[in-house]
Each structure stands twice: as structure tokens, then as C-alpha cells.
Structure 1
Amino acid sequence: MGGGVTAGAAGLYAALVTNPAQMGARPEDADELKHHLKNGKGFKNPWDSFVDFMTWKVPFQMIWRKISGQWHVPDTTPPTVPVRTPDFLPSRYTPHLRATWLGHACYYIEFPGGLRVLFDPVFEDCCAPINLKNFKRFTPPPCEIEDLPIVDAVVISHNHYDHLSHPTILRIQKKFPNAQFFAPLGNKKWFLDCGVTKITELDWWEQRKLRLEVQKTEDEGSSSPGDLKANPETMTAIIGALPCQHFSARGLFDRCQTLWASWSVESGGSKVYFAGDTGYRTVPRLPPNTDDYSPSLNLPHCPAFSQIGSLRGPFDLGLIPIGAYEPRWIMSSIHANPKDSVNIFLDTKCRKALGMHWGTWVLTEEDVMEPPQKLKEALAEKGIGEKGVFDVVDIGESKVLES
């Protein structure tokens, strides 16, 4: 497409979400819905790689760690993660895929062909249902929602407060009333209650085709700007929900009643994998300094990522969590550490990847700047030393992925 489709002035005036002609490859047992609980009572992780440590005992264990002085409180004294003011493209046109990290699990993706997608946006200071000091940001958002040039689609991985924010969703709805929202199964009612009607919920391995028609504006470099104004620009995307190993809850009594998911978005000849929030294995309580990847332990890992890579990959870019992983015996089943992250990267067949789910809130015990260092070590262990293959960026920084 040409350079005359201006994000700020051009208005979305038509959108259609439909089943794609090709539903995409699926595992042979996908129709068995092993991740569904009986009688529609919720969802589960159906793999040996998941052992549920998040029982009633865990809060007491965590409280005891704090009382006994075992709990490590990370130091958030600046400087930590650099925060830049984002430099978004002035028009929809870009020859290359472009990703901007907006903190934690939020990425803004500018696709070749014009589509603009926002993943897991949370722009508020506190990631909790009430304002708690321990859940406040130690790095600010690099911009506000109102600074974004355009949002065509918003993709949500699950309903935890650090991934789904009620105030943020309302702000997006106000600024971008034509934005299309996508969320895992069971979340539609929450969005409708917020007044968001352009919501599509999907189960694992389901896909939808998003077709957008955007009014063009005059192109100063065009010899016939009237023609541009008369003809709409059509963009399409295939958006699919995929498995991951996690759980959901927004309160004390709704655990796992809605689904969690990773996602794929394909548009303009580029394909992005968004891992959301996920674990890869379950690590039991081990003596200090034990290598939990030791062959002697032989811990099972989640097979869904290899299925995703084989059936839906390869991907041009993976957005993969690298933080919130200590202590391992509590967090490993639901949060990947950098070694897990590299394996997810390899399993899903991503050509490049960017780290996320770190550097914004203190959720766990590892030092706030540890994840990127451990990521480098994990890549080196796998013999992936090439710079730019699996990177981290500053908050607000954009990464251009050239073909």
C-alpha cells in the first residue's frame, strides 16, 4: 500500500470478523477439549508438565517466607529499565514488521500492510483490584493510550490484573471505538459488562479472519489524491488462540472459570506469536543451586509449544515472557524462566523473539534486572549467540524486523 494512509486522520469505517476459509492445522485430539472441565465448570492445563502449586497452602508458604526472612525483596532503586518515549510511525505504511514494548506484557505491533495490534495493554499504576503499594509500577508507562496513533485490534491473553485492566480497556474503547477485541473463551461477558461490544472470544486452536476497510486520506505525494479518498484501503488478518500453561482469576472464587491463551496474528505477510503468560515445566522444591534442567530430574515440559511450532509456525516474531519466575517451586508451573523462554522460542519456531513480562512490576523474588542477563546465558547454553535473535528492548523502544 502507499504512504497516504494516515493513521491519525484516516478513520476505520468497516470491520468484519468471520471464520477464515481455512481454519488452520490442529492436533488430532483438539476436538476432545481436554482442557475443558466437565459440565462447563471451567478449564485446566491438561499436561503432565503442570502441577498445581497454587493451592490454599501457597499463600501461607509465602507469608512464612516473609516472616522468616527467606523472602527476597528486589531492589527497584533507579536506574533499572530505561524508559523511552515511543516513536510511532506517522502513517500506516511500513515495509517491515515493527514492535514497540510498552512495558510488562504489552506490545504495540505495526504490521506491513497497515494493521495495528495492541497486546495485553495495562497502562495503570497498580496491577491489583485495589490500590496496593506492593503492586505499583517501578517503571512508568512510556506513553499513554491517548498517544497511540491507531489501534485496530486488542488481543488479551487472560484476565489477571497485570494483563487485563478495566480502566485501560475503557480508555481504549473511548479513544478507538472501532477497535476489535479478542480474548480467550469465557471472557466475553466481562467485556460486554464494560460496554465493549466488538469482542470475539476463542477457544484454543480456533481462528478468525479480521477484515478492515479504512478510509484513505490525501497523499501529498500522489498525483491523484482524489482517487485515494474515493477508494477504501482493505486490510485482513488471521487471529488465532493457541494453548499455553497458566490459569485465570480476578477474585477469590473464579479461579480457572475463563480460559487463558497464547495467540498468533498474521497480516501483511508477517506472522507474530504472542505467548501471553505461561509456564513450561513444573519444578519441585529442590536444594539451593540445583540445576532444575539436570537430566537426572527429567521433568516433563509442556508439549503444546512444539505443536504450535509444527502446526502454525514458523513465526517471524515471538513475544515471549522471561520474568516473574522465583521461587521456582511456586512459580515454574505458571511462569517461564529464561531457560524455559528459550525452549519456548525454539519449540514454536520463531525466527526472532523479544522478551516481555519483566521490568514493570515486582511480582516475584528475582532481581528486577536479572531476566535479561539470564536470557543471554540461556541463549549461550543453546548455542544461540547471534545478536538480535532473541532480544530485550527498552520500554518504549521499537524493534524493526527486516525480511
Structure 2
Amino acid sequence: MAVYSSVVSKLELAADVPEDAHLGAHHVKGNDGKTIKFQNPHPSAGDPPGSIIMTSARILWSMVTGEASRPDTSDVKIPAVKPEFLKTRTSSTVLRATWLGHACYFVEFPSGLRVLFDPVFEDRCAPVQWFGPKRYSPPPCALSDLPAVDAVIISHSHYDHLSHTSVQELARRHPKAHFFVGLGLEKWFHDSGITNVTEMDWWQDADLVLQREKHQDEEKTAPDTISARISCLPCQHSSGRSHRDQNHTLWASWAVKSGEKSVWFGGDTGYRRVPRVPLGVDDYGPEYDSLPRCPQFTQIGRLRGPFDLGLIPIGAYKPRWLFSWMHANPYDAVEIFKDTRCHRAMGIHWGTWVLTSEDVEEPPRLLKQALKTSGIPETGVFDVCAIGETREFPTVTQTSV
């Protein structure tokens, strides 16, 4: 197997960024002028949420009143298969993406680049493994089954996206892998003993160059050099691993381009804040269609798109009045898909842990309805797949919508 060393060059803000990018409206600065927290800068997020204690109280009250309930996972039939990764870096001429559950995807580029997004392989997405959301869909493989990993991209610090145990094992098994994270998270990685890390702000780019170490055993066909452009991009969410560090680190979506292929990773995001809506009323109907939408996805599509593949969240959205500002439902996801100018997309952020009150198998059903409403084919454009399944994405010469 060919072994690569990496060099990362973080770039200054390019010319092709929104006019307000230099203002840093998502930074909350203290009296000394230094950033101490982050915020969602657009009306689509609504007023800042209360404390984590207040949010927990709202969730508990919605369960007491019957508005929200824990969905049944006793007979879940989300399909799963054992992943099949490429045996060599140049075994395929198309982009390959393998869903490893929730928001975790392993993407193999035709250039030879291998990128892992939001790896969490633990049983529970929580500070401890004896309490908190427990998997109802096991991982389709172990971390030890992954081939060489070149880059690990973390969307934000919530436990269902960032696992201390998983990243430490990845760093041990793949010591040359480079981690890309939002502002403020570099220290957390250093404290975890991981030094190959680059933290970035929205609209910053970094160039990743992999150079083959020729003294190592080699794949004869492996390229000498593999390069990629990594872009940290906005989304609408929050961060925190306890009540003490809420929004102290930056949440982000990410774009990766290597060779002629590009992927946009939505991570975890909302699209617009929806108020309490009467049961059975469409919150995209005439009364609510004018609610502010997050403008950052259109900016991403215009300035960094189009993308060959979008990995877009579709789950953890009920009750809508409580979670819509930070979690997209399938109708939001389809709008994000169109805004970001993705040719194809796969749904993420569902099928693994119970985080909210919708039926765990509802997101794919609702996605088909949302696609139909937008006049997009129900299959072949924006899909879901079995956990562990690999999809291939050949070159597209024109947008799908």
C-alpha cells in the first residue's frame, strides 16, 4: 500500500466570497475585540436559543404534553450491508461514497484522495457510554476496516458528529491523516493528542497536498502526488459538548474538490425557523412560504458550486417549532440541494440514533414527497441508501434540476 505524507496550506479569504464575509457577523466578540463565541447571523435562525437547560426543559414539556414522543425502534428495518472499499487508490474512475451511518460518509475520489466525514462509531452519542442516545442501527464496519484515510472533516462539536474515542483511534491507525475543523476546535484536538489539525473559518480555503513516500511499499499505479482544495463554508446550527461551552466553537459545512470531482458536506444544519403550525398544515404553504430562508446556501452554490455530490441532512426535525432552526427536514433539504447546485445528493443525519420525535423511517418517505413537490425525480437524483452501501457518481455535464 502506498504511503503519503501531507502538507496543508491555509489560504486567506479569496475574492470569490460574499461581500459580508470579511465582517465576520457570525463572530461574537468580547470587550477586548476577540471572538469568544459564535452565532447564526441571519433572520432564518430566528432569535438565539436559550440555554441548554431551557432547551431540555422544552423538549421534556413537549413529551409530557404528548406533542412529542419517543419513536418506536423495536421493529426498524433500515437495510445495512457490509461496505466494499477500493483495494487501491486508482481502482475507479468515478466518485464513490459509502454511508457509514448518521452523518458519517467515506468518500473515495478518482484522484486517489480518501476523505472521512464526521466519524462516530460508538454505541451512544453522549459524554459517557452508559447514558444517552443508543444506536438502533449498528455501524456497518469497524474503524479498523477502513482503508488509508487522508483527511477527516468534522462539521461541529456535538456528540453525534464528534467522538473523542473515534478520532483518537483514527489518529492512531492513520497517523498521517489530517483533521479539518471549525474555529476553536483545534485546542480540543491538541488536548486529545492529535496535532495534524487545521482549524478554519467560514469561506476559508486550504490546499491539501499528499506526496507519496517512495521508500515505503507502493502500489505501482498510485500517483506520486494527490491534491485537494478544502473549503470551510457556512451552515445554520450550533455547537457545544456541555452547558459550559455552548457556541464556543464554530459549526460549518465543507466542500472538497480533488481532480475534477467535488463534494459538499452539509454536516448538520437548519434552513429556516418555523413557528408552531396547526396539525396538518404545510409549513411551506402560502401562509408560511415567506419565512426567511438561510441565504448562505445560495451563496455556496454560486461561489463554490456546482458540486458532483451533496451529503445533505434530512432527519431530526420534530417538533418543527423547536428544531427547524437547526435541523433541516426533507423539504428543507431539497431546497438546500437546489440552492447549493448539487448534481446529485445523498441523505444523511438519520437512521442511527433517536434524537427527535419523528418516526425513524419517516425521513426517506418525506424526501420522496418533497422531491415530487419540487418536480425532481423521486429516485436517481437525491437518494438514500443502505447503511454500508456505496454509490458511484459519474461525471455530470449539466445540473439535474
So what's the TM-score if we normalise by structure 1? Answer: 0.92
What letter corresponds to residue 357 of structure 1 in structure 2? H
Instruction: Tell me how far 1:75 sits from its aligned partner.
Output: 1.2
Instruction: Tell me how far 1:70 sits from its aligned partner.
Output: 3.6
Q: 2:70 aligns with which of 61, 69, 73?
A: 73
Q: Distance in 2 between matches of 1:173 and 1:240?
A: 22
Instruction: Tell me how far 1:110 sits from its aligned partner.
Output: 0.1
Q: Secondary structure of the residue that 2:38 maps to in structure 1?
A: coil
Q: Distance in 2 between matches of 1:18 and 1:303?
A: 29
1:154-193 alignment, distance < 5 Å: 154-193=152-191
Instruction: Tell me how far 1:285 sits from its aligned partner.
Output: 1.5
Instruction: Tell me how far 1:218 sits from its aligned partner.
Output: 5.5
Task: Assess if the C-alpha contact under 8 Å between 2:204 and 2:232 holds in 1.
Answer: yes
Q: Distance in 1 between matches of 2:36 and 2:167?
A: 26
Name the structure 2 match of 1:85: 82
Q: Are residue 259 (structure 1) and residue 250 (structure 2) matched?
A: yes
Q: 1:245 to 1:388 in 2, by over 3 A?
A: same
Q: Secondary structure of the residue that 1:63 maps to in structure 2?
A: helix
Q: 2:307 aligns with which of 315, 319, 323?
A: 315
Name the structure 2 match of 1:389: 381
Q: Secondary structure of the residue that 1:344 maps to in structure 2?
A: helix
The C-alpha deviation readout for 1:351-401, integer Å capped at 9, x for no partner, is: 000000000000000000000000000000000015210000100000000
1:336-347 alignment, distance < 5 Å: 336-347=328-339
Instruction: Tell me how far 1:235 sits from its aligned partner.
Output: 0.2
Q: 1:364 to 1:54 in 2, by over 3 A?
A: farther
Name the structure 1 match of 2:356: 364
Name the structure 1 match of 2:398: none
Q: Are residue 111 (structure 1) and residue 109 (structure 2) matched?
A: yes
Q: Please provide the CA RMSD for this pair.
A: 1.7
Q: Distance in 1 between matches of 2:84 and 2:42?
A: 42
The C-alpha deviation readout for 1:133-172, integer Å capped at 9, x for no partner, is: 5511000000011100110000000000000000001100
Q: Distance in 2 between matches of 1:156 and 1:233?
A: 27
Q: Are residue 285 (structure 1) and residue 270 (structure 2) matched?
A: no
Q: Secondary structure of the residue that 1:192 maps to in structure 2?
A: helix
**Aligned residue pairs, count:** 385
Task: Assess if the C-alpha contact under 8 Å between 1:122 and 1:168 holds in 2.
Answer: yes
Q: Secondary structure of the residue that 1:37 maps to in structure 2?
A: strand
Q: 1:132 to 1:204 in 2, by over 3 A?
A: same
Q: 1:283 to 1:41 in 2, by over 3 A?
A: same
What letter corresponds to residue 356 of structure 2 in structure 1? T
Instruction: Tell me how far 1:24 sits from its aligned partner.
Output: 6.1
Task: Assess if the C-alpha contact under 8 Å between 2:13 and 2:203 holds in 1.
Answer: no
Q: 2:316 aligns with which of 320, 324, 329?
A: 324
Q: 1:132 to 1:54 in 2, by over 3 A?
A: farther
Name the structure 2 match of 1:240: 231
Identity fraction in percent:
52
What letter corresponds to residue 41 of structure 2 in structure 1? P
Q: 2:325 aligns with which of 319, 333, 354?
A: 333
Name the structure 1 match of 2:118: 120
Q: 1:299 to 1:34 in 2, by over 3 A?
A: same
The C-alpha deviation readout for 1:119-140, integer Å capped at 9, x for no partner, is: 0000000001123455110000
Task: Assess if the C-alpha contact under 8 Å between 2:83 and 2:388 holds in 1.
Answer: yes
What letter corresponds to residue 255 of structure 1 in structure 2? Q
Q: Distance in 1 between matches of 2:356 and 2:14?
A: 38
What letter corresponds to residue 85 of structure 2 in structure 1? F
Task: Assess if the C-alpha contact under 8 Å between 2:45 and 2:273 holds in 1.
Answer: yes
Name the structure 1 match of 2:264: 273
Task: Assess if the C-alpha contact under 8 Å between 1:53 and 1:330 holds in 2.
Answer: no
The C-alpha deviation readout for 1:98-119, integer Å capped at 9, x for no partner, is: 0000000000000011000000
Name the structure 2 match of 1:400: 392
Name the structure 2 match of 1:47: 42
1:191-270 alignment, distance < 5 Å: 191-215=189-213, 217=217, 233-270=224-261
What letter corresponds to residue 383 of structure 2 in structure 1? D
Instruction: Tell me how far 1:215 sits from its aligned partner.
Output: 3.8
Name the structure 1 match of 2:368: 376
Q: 1:60 to 1:96 in 2, by over 3 A?
A: same
Q: Distance in 1 between matches of 2:41 and 2:272?
A: 13
Q: Secondary structure of the residue that 1:313 maps to in structure 2?
A: coil
Task: Assess if the C-alpha contact under 8 Å between 1:265 and 1:273 holds in 2.
Answer: yes
Ranges in structure 1 where 5+ consecutive residues have no aligned partner: 1-8, 220-224
Task: Assess if the C-alpha contact under 8 Å between 2:67 and 2:319 holds in 1.
Answer: no
Instruction: Tell me how far 1:20 sits from its aligned partner.
Output: 5.3
State the 4+ residue runs in structure 1 displaced beyond 4 angstroms: 216-219
Q: 1:134 to 1:251 in 2, by over 3 A?
A: closer
Q: Are residue 32 (structure 1) and residue 30 (structure 2) matched?
A: no
Ranges in structure 2 where 5+ consecutive residues have no aligned partner: 396-401
